[in-house]
Structure 1
Amino acid sequence: MGELAVLMARVQKRVNAVVVFVVPNGVPEKWEETDLWRNAAQIPGVRVLKDVGGKEAAVLARSLPAKRCSMARTEHCSLAAA
């Protein structure tokens, strides 16, 4: 999230970002609301959403051309940039 915070500070209001946390089915309520979630929510210009079951992440992965998309994954989130 540190790199995203730096980037968003540089582009100031010219870019809006959405950080989507994939929430597996069957986990406790608010499972996704970790320090990473809270850090993302504090970055100006960033909207934080949850994706229950990973449905939106799957659509995103199929819709972005591989040549124009880079993805990074951790245990709790994926990052895609076109």
Structure 2
Amino acid sequence: MPVLLREQPGGRDHEDFQRVEMPKILRPALLPGEELVSEGLRVLLDPDGREGATGGLQGGPHILPAEGALFLTTYRIIFKGTPHDPLGKY
């Protein structure tokens, strides 16, 4: 069965979009004798409904949502990242 393809005028529309650069993953400071078991895994942390990390009623700092990386070491799991606001309100 033949398939007909139709090209849109203007050609490659996807080339008009700007490339979004991903933030660099910064390695965490390690304790003496601690070693990385795996490289950083890029993650996005979202609030789970509790108000403690979103400023809440007490007006604290907004730390969620945040983007960064998780690192597994021989001693602990480390999140290294920064808070961000997808709507640009804060």
Whose radius of gyration is greater, 1 or 2? 2
TM-score, with structure 1 as normaliser: 0.29
Say which structure is richer in strand: 1
